[in-house]
Chain A
Amino acid sequence: MARPTEVEVGEQKAPVIQPGHTFATITDRIAAIVLRRPVKAGWLLGFLFCFMILQWFLFAVCWLFYKGVGVWGVNIPVGWGFAIVNFVWWIGIGHAGTLISAILLLLRQAWRNSINRFAEAMTLFAVACAGMFPLLHLGRPWLFYWLFPYSNTMTYWPNFRSPLVWDVFAVSTYLTISLVFWFVGLIPDLASLRDQTTNKFVRFVYGLLSMGWRNSVRHWNRYETAYLLLAGLATPLVLSVHTVVSFDFSIGIVPGWHTTIFPPYFVAGAIYSGFAMVLVLAIPIRKFYAIEDFITDRHIENSAMVMLATGWIVAYGYGIEAFVNWYGGDPYESYLRWNRLHGPYAFWYYALLFTNILVPQLLWVRRIRTNNFWLFLISLDVLVGMWLERFIIVVVSLTRDFLTSSFGQYYPTWNDWSVLVGTLGFFTACMFLFLRLLPAVSISELKTLIPQAEVTVAHAEEVHDL
């Protein structure tokens, strides 16, 4: 938690926190959402709707386990259908949470302090969704532990030269580190909830979760070191995760996959879709929970600008791909270009260019990017666009690679769609629960942003020297 001594309140920019708040009002306002706000019909209906989708997901998954992966549209030549598309999409969404909580922390971007908590929760749930797809795709998911190196009676080991094994390590490390990062951030706030509540049972639960945190400055000192170290570790980690995901493709020789632009282009795409999801969540959350004081227009606009910037990196990636297809002179790569533009999935390629490159250009207009309604729609559009991007990469390349005789088509089935929509249900149901059970905005970090947190007295050492 970087402690900025000055909160920049520019003439043009909205403040990161509305003036007039004190330590007490921050605590009360955020704790009240969890402790005192009654369960409202809107929340209940929303949660039940998402929970129903989650039940549908469970049904689809049971059917999948009962019948096997044949219930999906995957077959030769397309062995990687929706499962891998969804995996890459979800894990990319998770990346924005880590970017906000770790990279912006290291860059001392004070505005991240009010959106990092739910962005981290978003990361956690998104990575959980992502992690399900490779497991579902295994065919025999109950043997998933064969992926890990453990001494076994079969006397064999995973193949450490395979990008798929790298992926196992990258994603499981990412999930673990995201979880501890999020939890460490929560400890002081759980202690706040423990101290704020009047209900004995609630006090017991938050007391247990906060592990007896008592706000000692000695503890804070070590806590800050650990938090900063975690941020420093999560930064290369998050860049490595999508890089490793892109290796799943680029290590292979399939046309359209075997390219060195993939790692940076995947990471940029991940942050692009992640910020879109942050906005899709932040815009309704701050409205319905009346926390516009903490998640201000400044946060919304900054996120929109990050989207615009990373969107251009992605656009550059598309450009370079097309250029290399042509300039490289490889006939299969040239054919891939033709296939994307004129093949059976051409409509979706144009849809991708429209949703991912054309529409987000509206963000150049300040009035649009500060208008929550339009920004929400553009963010949804980017999420669709990024999903289409992964679909184009996975499916178009696989349907038509080297041999004309092995050309094929890919048709997703009801189960493919159910699993995709089902993870959305899982994700949103988790977010609904998170909003009611845990503080959605970091209480202790927000306190460092108000003027009362500024120290004006002499430095300790100067006094000790006297």
Chain B
Amino acid sequence: MRDPRIYGLLAEFDSVDTVITAAQRVYAAGYRKIDAYSPFPLEELSEAIGFEKNGVALVCLVGGLLGCTGAYVLQWWINTISYPVNIGGRPFHSWPAFIIVTFEMTILFSGLSAVFGMLALNGLPMPHHPVFNVPQFDAASRDRFFIIIFSSDKNYDPVRTRAFLEELNPLSVSEVPS
């Protein structure tokens, strides 16, 4: 049934409530390879398409732990092994003095991991994407909401899926060429 030239069907909505109701119905109808677009973060909409958890926090935690241990081990190694300097017999491993750099590196590494992890998990940068082929899609960053059902979904059918989307009170339904 699947037409390789078609990436999916894109339905356009103009309010928060209609798009969320529509997304819930799309999910309830068994469609899983779906996505939704909103001009601002809308938690309820991503919940409606069944996407709630993400891995960004884990990436951030791992990055932070790496930064923390890396910075501390580096300072310890420098001050006790590589370049020990005896200042009035004070201990080489003077851990209180190492806290600040350790702290700063924890923040730096976890922050950068959160950002780059987010971009990587989102698959960005990706300047070209099939949805940009639909002219109305420019409004996704202005005032419109969209739901797409990808043609790779097992329930996808060019005629029936389109008819189903038309029932959900969209402003328009368009085919997305791939």
Residue A332 at the B interface, CB < 8 A?
no
Question: Could you say which of A233-241, A318-326, A347-355, A372-380 contacts chain B?
Answer: A233-241
- By the criterion CB–CB under 8 Å, are B44 and A226 in contact? no
Inter-chain contacts of A176 with B (CB < 8 A) = 108, 111-112
Q: Which residues of B (129-154) have their CB < 8 Å from a CB of A?
A: 129, 131-132, 137-143
Knowing A211-B125, A222-B122, A455-B17, the reply to whether A27 touches B141 (Cβ < 8 A) is: yes
- Bound complex: CA of A448 vs CA of B111, how far in Å? 25
| A367 contacts B by Cβ under 8 Å | no
Known: A207-B127, A444-B41. Is A217-B36 also a contact (CB below 8 A)?
yes
Please give the distance in Å from A78's CB to the nearest CB on chain B.
27
Is B170 an interface residue, CB under 8 A from the partner?
Answer: no
Cβ of B15 to closest chain A Cβ, rounded Å: 7
A to B contact number (C-beta, < 8 Å): 225
Name the one of B20, B114, B119 contacting A211, with C-beta atoms under 8 angstroms.
B119
Report the minimal beta-carbon distance from A162 to chain B, rounded to whole angstroms.
9
Q: Which residue of A lies closest to B144 (CB)?
A: A23
Instruction: State the CA gap A44–B105 with chains docked (Å).
Output: 41
Indicate if B6 sits at the interface (CB-CB under 8 A): no
Q: Which residues of B contact A180 (CB under 8 A)?
A: 111-112, 115
| Residues 1 to 51 of chain A near chain B (Cβ within 8 Å) | 1, 3, 22-24, 27-28
**Do A192 and B57 have beta carbons less than 8 Å apart?**
no
- Contact of A444 with B39 in the complex, beta carbons under 8 Å: yes
Is B127's CB under 8 angstroms from A208's CB?
yes
Bound together, the chains give a CA A160 to CA B132 distance in angstroms of: 51
Distance in Å: Cβ of B21 to nearest Cβ of chain A: 5
Indicate if the CB atoms of A195 and B142 lie closer than 8 Å. Answer: yes
Residue from B42, B43, B44, B132 within 8 A of A214 (CB atoms): B132
Residue A169 is within 8 A (CB to CB) of chain B in the complex: yes
B74 within 8 A of A: yes
- Residue B86 lies at the interface, judged by CB distance under 8 Å to chain A: no
Q: Does A149 contact B (CB under 8 A)?
A: yes
Interface residues of A in 157-171 (CB under 8 A from B): 157, 159-161, 165-166, 169-170
Tell me what chain B mostly uses at the interface: helix, strand, loop, or mixed.
helix
Interface size bracket, B side: 35 or more
Chain B residues with CB under 8 Å of A233's CB are: 107, 110-111, 114
Chain A neighbourhood of B125, CB < 8 A: 211-212
Instruction: Check B97–A223 contact: CB distance below 8 A.
Output: no
Q: Are B128 and A212 in contact (CB under 8 A)?
A: yes
Q: Which residues of B contact A181 (CB under 8 A)?
A: 111
Q: Which residues of chain B from 53 to 74 have a CB within 8 Å of any chain A CB?
A: 54-57, 60, 74
**A159 to B132, alpha carbons, bound, how many Å?**
53
In this complex, the member of A207, A219, A230 whose beta carbon has the largest number of chain B beta carbons within 10 angstroms is A219
B103 CB–A CB distance under 8 Å: yes
Quick check: A226 and B143 within 8 Å, CB to CB?
no
Q: Would you list the 9 A-B pairs with minimal beta carbon distance, nearest first?
A: A211-B125, A23-B143, A226-B118, A217-B46, A460-B47, A195-B138, A447-B40, A192-B141, A24-B143
Listed by A's residue number, 30 A-B pairs whose Cβ atoms lie within 8 Å are A23-B142, A24-B142, A157-B78, A166-B100, A166-B101, A176-B112, A177-B108, A184-B118, A192-B39, A192-B141, A194-B141, A195-B141, A208-B127, A212-B125, A212-B128, A212-B129, A214-B132, A215-B140, A215-B141, A218-B35, A218-B51, A220-B40, A220-B41, A223-B41, A223-B118, A236-B107, A244-B100, A456-B17, A459-B47, A464-B28
By a beta-carbon cutoff of 8 Å, the part of chain B in contact with chain A is: 15-17, 20-21, 23-24, 27-28, 35-49, 51-52, 54-57, 60, 74-75, 78-79, 82-83, 85, 87, 94, 97-98, 100-101, 103-105, 107-108, 110-112, 114-115, 117-119, 121-122, 124-129, 131-132, 137-143
